[in-house]
């Protein structure tokens, strides 16, 4: 009997930078390459070609992307660049003339074609290469679910529309189908992401689409309800506080959606918000937060803010700190304003000195730490559900509550547990600090 030796497939390495939306792009690219017969390499040495998925949102992110490209060139030499900074191909090629190809964000076909040219695939009909849910770069028990691309807003500090275009929503049936496959493959938590999740479906007039004999409407409330019926935790990210967000509260109260909103407020001062061209009214938002918490007392709100935006005064900044306190923001990240090439904010006067930005950033972080610590103290003594991310095999484990998204929020640190990653366990909270909870199985 002749034994057929299968040819060794070419190997692809991946460096994925930037936000969860870019991570989803990387997963889609790798899934397609795996289906084409490629193997994945965990290091530079074993890769026939290396993909660098870049971020180009801030100058600091561009610097990180260029450094990653340089490292890949030095360690491997055969490099393809994609992602947001791929729109600046001339900058990349001027710095690294040896890159094999440069493509822009979500240009999946162009990336795959470039890999095919650099390391041609070896067809083999004998191996099933891709799981039905696709390849993932996150742990098995949670998955990012991208529902749209692009953004219709024109905030003056942001260049996302020029990088990713206007809003383009996926058909609701396609989103639910992907989510169902992920849950079937072991996902316990779905993290819904886009540039503007609240606007989902606006561009396609909330059109319905069919899957398995059912119609699914492309509206964020309908989508959240449909996802909540799949049996996994559903966490909403990048929510703008449009009026219809109020309709999510009953779904949270029913337990279909986690009591968690990630809302990018960016500031609270009306004057700064106007200069930013932000689509929000801070006074009404405070009223609505109180209304939301009257329906969902456990609602956690996380957000991001910018200090030192051109024209921001000391009074504006103090207004922001007071607003943080009144709103009871559970988690907050803060960025010192940074000029980005191509952003409309570059033309604004009233630049804030770097030392003032630094001082305000420290004051913001101190204020937010106090607020977070106070809100976490209220969790002590309660029993809550925790999803386990890591376990040390010696009774210790790290997980997250329904109020914590992976990598950006706090954790729940457990003792005396035999839980494994992906388990959802009942925990009694014994203590808390500024960011984390500490507990034991209930």
Same domain, 81 and 183: no
Same domain, 332 and 365: yes
pLDDT of residue 219: 96
pLDDT of residue 132: 57
Same domain, 325 and 203: yes
Q: Tell me which residue range forms the domain holding 407.
A: 383-441
Same domain, 367 and 399: no
For residue 303, tell me if it sits in a domain: yes
Q: Does the pLDDT value for residue 281 go beyond 70?
A: no
Position 251 confidence tier, pLDDT thresholds 50, 70, 90: very high
Is 84 annotated as contributing to ligand binding?
yes
Tell me the C-alpha to C-alpha distance, in Å, between residue 410 and each of 215, 264, 331, 394, 405: 38, 18, 8, 22, 8
pLDDT of residue 110: 78
Same domain, 93 and 192: no
Same domain, 213 and 311: yes
Is 19 annotated as contributing to ligand binding?
yes
Q: What is the DSSP letter of 103?
A: -
Position 127 confidence tier, pLDDT thresholds 50, 70, 90: very low
Q: Does the pLDDT value for residue 146 go beyond 50?
A: yes
Query: What is the rounded average pLDDT of the residues 262-272?
Result: 93
Q: Does the pLDDT value for residue 190 go beyond 60?
A: yes
For residue 399, tell me if it sits in a domain: yes
Same domain, 71 and 179: no
Same domain, 113 and 238: no
Same domain, 336 and 189: yes
pLDDT of residue 167: 87
Is 151 annotated as contributing to ligand binding?
yes
Query: What is the rounded average pLDDT of the residues 5-18?
Result: 84
pLDDT of residue 160: 74
Q: Does the pLDDT value for residue 1 go beyond 50?
A: no
Say which CATH number the domain at 421 has: 2.40.50.140
End-to-end CA distance of the chain: 60
Tell me the C-alpha to C-alpha distance, in Å, between residue 188 and each of 20, 229, 259, 366, 380: 17, 13, 16, 34, 25
Say which CATH number the domain at 241 has: 3.80.30.20
What would the two tokens of residue 68 be? 């990653």
Query: What is the rounded average pLDDT of the residues 101-113?
Result: 79
Residues of the chain with pLDDT > 70, as a percent, come to 94
Position 131 confidence tier, pLDDT thresholds 50, 70, 90: low
For residue 125, tell me if it sits in a domain: no
The Cα 69–Cα 86 span in angstroms is 11
pLDDT of residue 48: 94
Tell which of 118, 150, 182 closes a domain: 118
Tell which of 377, 399, 431 closes a domain: 377
Helix, strand, coil percentages, rounded to 5, for the chain: 35, 20, 40
Say which CATH number the domain at 18 has: 3.40.50.12160
Query: What is the rounded average pLDDT of the residues 400-423?
Result: 95
For residue 6, tell me if it sits in a domain: no
Same domain, 208 and 250: yes
Tell which of 50, 84, 118 closes a domain: 118
Q: Does the pLDDT value for residue 193 go beyond 50?
A: yes
For residue 130, tell me if it sits in a domain: no
Same domain, 433 and 339: no
Is 55 annotated as contributing to ligand binding?
yes
Residue-wise pLDDT for 304-336, tens only, equals: 999 999 999 999 999 999 999 999 999 999 999
The mean of the pLDDT values for the chain is 89
Q: Does the pLDDT value for residue 77 go beyond 50?
A: yes
Residues of the chain with pLDDT > 90, as a percent, come to 60
Number of domains in the chain: 3
For residue 59, tell me if it sits in a domain: yes
What is the model's pTM? 0.74
The Cα 112–Cα 169 span in angstroms is 23
Tell me the C-alpha to C-alpha distance, in Å, between residue 314 and each of 98, 275, 307, 309, 318: 48, 16, 11, 12, 6
Residue-wise pLDDT for 431-442, tens only, equals: 999 999 999 999
Range name among 44-48, 210-214, 420-424 with the lowest pLDDT average = 210-214
For residue 394, tell me if it sits in a domain: yes
Q: Does the pLDDT value for residue 349 go beyond 80?
A: yes
Q: Does the pLDDT value for residue 421 go beyond 90?
A: yes
Same domain, 284 and 425: no
153: region left, alpha or beta (phi > 0 left; psi from -120 to 50 alpha): beta
Residue-wise pLDDT for 50-68, tens only, equals: 999 998 877 888 899 999 9
Q: CB-side exposure of 343: number of CA atoms within 13 Å?
A: 23
pLDDT of residue 135: 64
pLDDT of residue 377: 96
Q: Does the pLDDT value for residue 362 go beyond 50?
A: yes
For residue 133, tell me if it sits in a domain: no
């Amino acid at each position: 009997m002749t034994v057929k030796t299968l040819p060794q497939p070419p190997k692809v390495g991946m460096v994925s930078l930037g936000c969860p939306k870019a991570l989803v792009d990387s997963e889609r690219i790798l899934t397609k390459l795996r289906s084409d017969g490629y193997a994945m390499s965990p290091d530079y040495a074993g890769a026939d070609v290396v993909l660098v998925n870049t971020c180009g949102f801030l100058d600091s992110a561009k610097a990180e992307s260029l450094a990653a490209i340089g490292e890949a060139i030095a360690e491997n030499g055969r490099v393809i660049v994609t992602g947001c900074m791929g729109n600046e191909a001339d900058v990349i090629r001027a710095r690294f003339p040896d890159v094999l190809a440069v493509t822009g964000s979500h240009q999946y076909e162009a990336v795959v074609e470039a890999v095919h040219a650099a390391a041609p695939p070896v067809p083999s009909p004998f191996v099933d290469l891709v799981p039905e849910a696709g390849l993932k770069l996150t742990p098995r028990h949670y998955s990012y679910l991208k529902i749209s691309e692009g953004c219709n807003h024109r905030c003056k500090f942001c260049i996302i529309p020029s990088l990713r275009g206007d809003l383009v929503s996926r058909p609701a049936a396609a989103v639910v189908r992907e989510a169902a496959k992920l849950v079937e493959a072991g996902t316990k938590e779905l993290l819904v992401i886009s540039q503007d999740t609240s606007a989902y479906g606006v561009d396609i007039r909330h059109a319905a689409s069919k899957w398995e004999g059912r119609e699914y409407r492309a509206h964020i409330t309908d989508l959240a309800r449909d996802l909540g019926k799949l049996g996994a935790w559903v966490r909403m990210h990048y929510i703008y506080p449009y009026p219809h967000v109020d309709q999510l509260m009953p779904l949270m109260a029913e337990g279909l959606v986690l009591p968690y909103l990630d809302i990018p407020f960016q500031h609270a001062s009306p004057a700064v918000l106007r200069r930013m061209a932000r689509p929000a009214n801070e006074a009404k938002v405070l009223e609505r937060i109180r209304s939301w918490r009257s329906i969902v007392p456990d609602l956690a709100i996380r957000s991001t803010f910018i200090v030192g935006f051109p024209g921001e005064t000391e009074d504006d900044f103090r207004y922001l700190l007071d607003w943080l306190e009144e709103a009871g923001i559970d988690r907050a990240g803060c960025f010192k304003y940074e000029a980005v090439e191509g952003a409309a904010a570059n033309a604004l006067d009233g630049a804030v000195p770097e030392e003032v930005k630094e001082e305000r950033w420290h004051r913001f972080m101190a204020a937010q730490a106090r607020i977070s610590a106070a809100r976490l103290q209220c969790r002590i003594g309660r029993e809550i559900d925790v999803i386990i991310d890591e376990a040390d095999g010696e009774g210790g484990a790290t997980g997250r509550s329904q109020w914590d998204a992976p990598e950006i929020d706090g954790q729940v640190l457990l003792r005396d547990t035999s839980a494994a990653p992906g388990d959802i366990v009942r925990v009694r909270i014994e203590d808390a600090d500024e960011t984390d909870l500490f507990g034991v199985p209930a």
